[in-house]
Homo-oligomer: A and B are copies of this chain.
Amino acid sequence: MKIYFSGSIRGGRIDADLYRDLITELKKYGQVLTEHVGSSALKEELSDREIHDRDIQWLHEADIVIAEVTTPSLGVGYEIAKAISFEKPVYCLYRENEETRVSAMIKGSPKVTCHSYNKFPEAREILCHIFGIRTRQ
């Protein structure tokens, strides 16, 4: 099972530690292609075009996309739409009661399953549910 985890990078790194914890959890279910998203010391040694092409290639390879969408991010929105066009299952997790709300383009997309949560243990349960369902299919 190859997992594409999507979280904000240039849009804001306030949730970087949370991404790291989610990625640690996701690694119980498969290979996380985008482990760098949870890194506290992100280095960008690639050009924008190289990052784009690498991430599109990973999206093609992925069996499932999990996105944390609380922090608004152009890249995450772009990746979700691309994942849909590649016919990948897309699950978005977000926290309620934040300053910004999740876009209607994401919450209103019939091809995206959204789950809200408050604290990390809830997110862990949601992932367990998602992968529990998928491994039974």
Pairwise interchain contact A10-B100, C-beta atoms closer than 8 A: yes
Question: A53-105: which have CB < 8 Å to B?
Answer: 53, 55, 69, 71-82, 85, 100-105
How many of these chains are in the complex?
2
Contact size range, A: 35 or more
Q: Which of B10, B55, B107 contacts A101 (CB 8 A)?
A: B10
Q: Which of B9, B53, B105 contacts A55 (CB 8 A)?
A: B105
Q: When A74-B73, A108-B47 are in contact, do A103 and B53 touch as well, CB less than 8 Å?
A: no
Pairwise interchain contact A50-B108, C-beta atoms closer than 8 A: yes
Pairwise interchain contact B72-A8, C-beta atoms closer than 8 A: yes
Pairwise interchain contact A106-B12, C-beta atoms closer than 8 A: no
CA distance A124 to B65 in the complex (A): 38
A11: interface (CB < 8 Å): yes
A119: interface (CB < 8 Å): no
CA distance A105 to B44 in the complex (A): 13
**Contacts of A10 on B, CB cut-off 8 Å?**
72, 100-104
Pairwise interchain contact A74-B108, C-beta atoms closer than 8 A: no
A24: interface (CB < 8 Å): no
Residues of A within 8 A of B (CB): 8-12, 44, 47-53, 55, 69, 71-82, 85, 100-110
